[in-house]
Amino acid sequence: MDRVRDTNANTWWVYAGDHQVKGPWSIYSEVQVRRSNFLNIWQQFQTRDAVAYRFSPRAQVAIGYVFTYTGRYGDFPVAHPFNEHRTYQQISLRHELKRAGFEHRYRTEQRWIQNYTDTNNYFWRYQNRFRYQLKATLPITTANAEGRQWYLFAGDELFLPYGPNHGTNSFDQNRAFGGVGYRFTRNNVLEVGYQNQFIIQRNNRIEENDHTLRVMWTSTAALSKLFR
């Protein structure tokens, strides 16, 4: 069967906070507002919360929960907006090579996806998915006394379903991204970049090729200092 290509222009607005609680323990909290047709309609709304443990500056593990709402967007929208609940586990590893920094993120997900059988009835379909992300950063200025610094970033994330109920696809999606970041304090970073999101929908007929402006604010301030 020949696939049909669906191209969308999206914007993602993201806050991600990794806030130390005590010693190596931290709480991770993330909110994503994803809009399609630039800003006009919902693509997705997502929240992510986790408990994390940092073994060293180069290694961290986390376990958490995700809620996702997916709207009707694109030329071939789903029949109904739907919700998804996930649990996940991940490990993040960092290293440097000369001036560049690299982060490897390995994540496995357990997904409960709302599937409508008609207008009013639905069931929860269970699936598993593995994700691997590689992100590289390269400073383009020297950090000053306050930690302010400009840098470039680029990366890719691959999504692979496994286990029961994922249909005929052995590939879910891929996200390639790049842009510029600015560290405006030692604990706060703003990144603005482009992302190409390629998705093969579960029906194995529709391919999404989404062009996305991604704006992301990341904070690593300790929890005790957030409200001071």
- Which CATH number goes with the domain that contains 198? 2.40.160.40
Cα angle 101, 103, 108 (rounded to 5 degrees) comes to 175
User: Taking a C-beta distance cutoff of 8 angstroms, is the pair 174, 198 a contact?
Assistant: yes
Number of other CB atoms surrounding residue 60 within 10 Å: 21
> So what's the pLDDT on residue 226?
63
pTM to 2 decimal places: 0.94
pLDDT at 205: 85
* Token pair in block for residue 35: 């809009």
Q: Note the pLDDT of residue 222.
A: 83
User: Residue ranges of the chain with pLDDT lower than 70?
Assistant: 1, 226-228
Q: How many domains does the chain have?
A: 1
Domain enclosing residue 70, as ranges: 4-225
Q: Would you call 145 exposed, middle or buried from its count of C-beta atoms within 10 A (0-12, 13-18, 19+)?
A: exposed
The DSSP secondary-structure symbol of 223 reads G
- Cross-strand pairs, 189: 183, 218
6 vs 223: CA distance, rounded Å: 42
